[in-house]
Structure 1
Amino acid sequence: MDTTLTPWWQTRTPVRLAAAIVPFALCAVLYGMREQVPAASAVLVLALCIVAAAATGDRVAGLLAALSSAVWFDFFLTEPYLRLTIEDGDDIQAAVLLVVIGASVTELAIWGRRQQESASRRSGWLDGVLSAAVTVSDGASGPDDAVHVVAAGITDVLGADSCRFVAGPVRDRRMAVLDHDGVLTQNGHHRDVDRTGLPVDEYVAIEVRRSTRVVGHFEVTAATRAVRPTREQCRVAVLLADQVAPLVDA
């Protein structure tokens, strides 16, 4: 069992607490220096605090930092001091900008993290395809081992429960079939896997072709939960399946 603890800075609760408390502490310090530090400089300091919270990729933390900054900026750094009242128009604009900055930077940070995760997944899929290709081409492993590696890769890419290889073409024409374009066809109709997910009550077949001949197929099971792979994931799964064609048709 893995007993590695998640670092405190990677959990949400401490980050959100810090996002709410740090602006208060900064504004309290800046209140004591208000004669030396103009309001514009204080806004920049708070903006940095907001950016730091937003950079965690936690939308709640970013918004908490923005709202906390706006409230405590009003309380400590605008006249009348130590009251939640703003009389100067410029100070009102600064408080509003703090909230807008926080919301905008948070959304940008979340978008960036999603792009990074997507790129990481693509890299993982590519590594899986390359690993399967090497396993097949080097001849060090037997056909059964290579097929097992590919089946595991398909299971992982699609997020399915299991996958097994069956020699020969698909016998049951009612079975859903995943083609080389990543399109799932069931009973003669295309199925939107992104929306409806893989069938949970029957296998999904991925045909293994050598030239124009179907030499076998993988039967994928996704019965325990809704699995909605993207079309890109489906195409990677088909590409993985093709790696075993030279072995099973030897």
Structure 2
Amino acid sequence: MSGQRLHDAAALLAALVAPFLTALALMPFRGDLSPTNAALILVVAVVAVAAIGTRTAGAVAALSAAAWYDFFLTVPYQRFTITGREDVETVVLLLVVGMIVSQLSVRARRLRTTVITDAAHLTSLQGTVRLAEDGRSPEAVVEYVRRELVGLLGLRGCRFEYGTLMGGLPRLEHGGGLWLHRPGRITEYAGWPDGETELRVVGGGHYYGRFLLNPVPGALPPEQNRLVAVALAAQAGSALDTAGLAHPG
């Protein structure tokens, strides 16, 4: 099981267990707690699950909280039955509020992750600019980009090859897609193909070489990562062109 699937499974388990344990812990105090306060405490449990899980986990946590509130904290106790109108209203509100808050929590977490990822990508792109501004050699820029590509795309390895188009390899294109061009046939990939993939380096309209990517088999990295990889390769091409290096005819 992949790390992401394991995380999602753990979040789903927490969605089932956390509200149950919270409601169970409130049992000794149910005579002193108002229905509103008890419901708010369960909402906190829902938010805690949503903060680490998926939308599905948040929704399951809200349903679980409403069910265990009914079972442990409303009369008749230890039965999934509600007789009081106030209790019915509280359960409905708990379910609605729990669903809304869990969705907002998941959205906020994803937004935070996106911001962090965008900042990392910007830092990576700025690194090549700084190297060029500092007068570093184009080889230093190429090496910097090569290292960045390994982390950005989750590669096993990456190497740069000057001035050759031999091999007919699958190619990471400017739009972030992965294609293999053959006479009379074009193949688009949804995952990494076997063997190496090329990312061409062009500067000033001239082809200088290519990064040969050695990926880990599996799904392609996010499109944003692939677009940043293409931008990094373009910066390497610009550095090579600015240096006035010879290029294939």
**TM-score, scaled relative to structure 1:** 0.74
Superposition pairs for residues 57-206 of structure 1, below 5 Å? 57=53, 62=58, 66=62, 69-81=65-77, 83-140=79-136, 142-172=137-167, 174-188=168-182, 192-193=188-189, 196-201=190-195, 203-206=196-199
Query: 1:42-67 deviations in whole A, cap 9, x for unaligned?
Result: 43443344334433446687567545
Q: Once structures 1 and 2 are overlaid, which stretch shifts more, 225-234 or 58-67?
A: 58-67
| Alpha-carbon separation, structure 2, partners of 1:160 and 1:104 | 39
Aligned residues: 230
Q: Which residue of 2 aligns with 1:209?
A: 202
Q: Do 2:53 and 2:106's aligned partners in 1 also have CA atoms closer than 8 Å? A: yes
Cα distance, 1:110 vs structure 2: 2.3
| Alpha-carbon separation, structure 1, partners of 2:13 and 2:170 | 47
Structure 2: state its 5+ residue gaps: 1-9
Q: Which amino acid aligns with 2:26?
A: L
1:219 correspondence with 2:219: no
Cα distance, 1:167 vs structure 2: 0.8
| Alpha-carbon separation, structure 2, partners of 1:83 and 1:178 | 59
| Alpha-carbon separation, structure 2, partners of 1:58 and 1:230 | 18
Q: Do 1:169 and 1:216's aligned partners in 2 also have CA atoms closer than 8 Å? A: yes
Segments of 4+ moved more than 4 angstroms: 11-19, 58-65, 81-84, 188-193
Q: Do 1:23 and 1:65's aligned partners in 2 also have CA atoms closer than 8 Å? A: no
| Alpha-carbon separation, structure 2, partners of 1:167 and 1:231 | 26
| Alpha-carbon separation, structure 1, partners of 2:77 and 2:14 | 29
| Alpha-carbon separation, structure 2, partners of 1:185 and 1:59 | 33
Structure 1: state its 5+ residue gaps: 1-10
Q: Do 1:74 and 1:83's aligned partners in 2 also have CA atoms closer than 8 Å? A: yes
Q: Which residue of 1 aligns with 2:224?
A: 232
Q: Do 2:20 and 2:68's aligned partners in 1 also have CA atoms closer than 8 Å? A: no
| Alpha-carbon separation, structure 1, partners of 2:187 and 2:132 | 32
| Alpha-carbon separation, structure 1, partners of 2:76 and 2:164 | 80
| Alpha-carbon separation, structure 1, partners of 2:226 and 2:76 | 62
| Alpha-carbon separation, structure 2, partners of 1:163 and 1:90 | 64
Query: 1:36-95 deviations in whole A, cap 9, x for unaligned?
Result: x3x345434433443344334466875675455434533454333565431124423422
| Alpha-carbon separation, structure 2, partners of 1:66 and 1:233 | 34
**TM-score, scaled relative to structure 2:** 0.74
Cα distance, 1:236 vs structure 2: 1.1
1:21 correspondence with 2:14: no
| Alpha-carbon separation, structure 1, partners of 2:99 and 2:188 | 34
Cα distance, 1:228 vs structure 2: 0.8
Q: For 2:83, what is the secondary structure of its paired residue?
A: coil
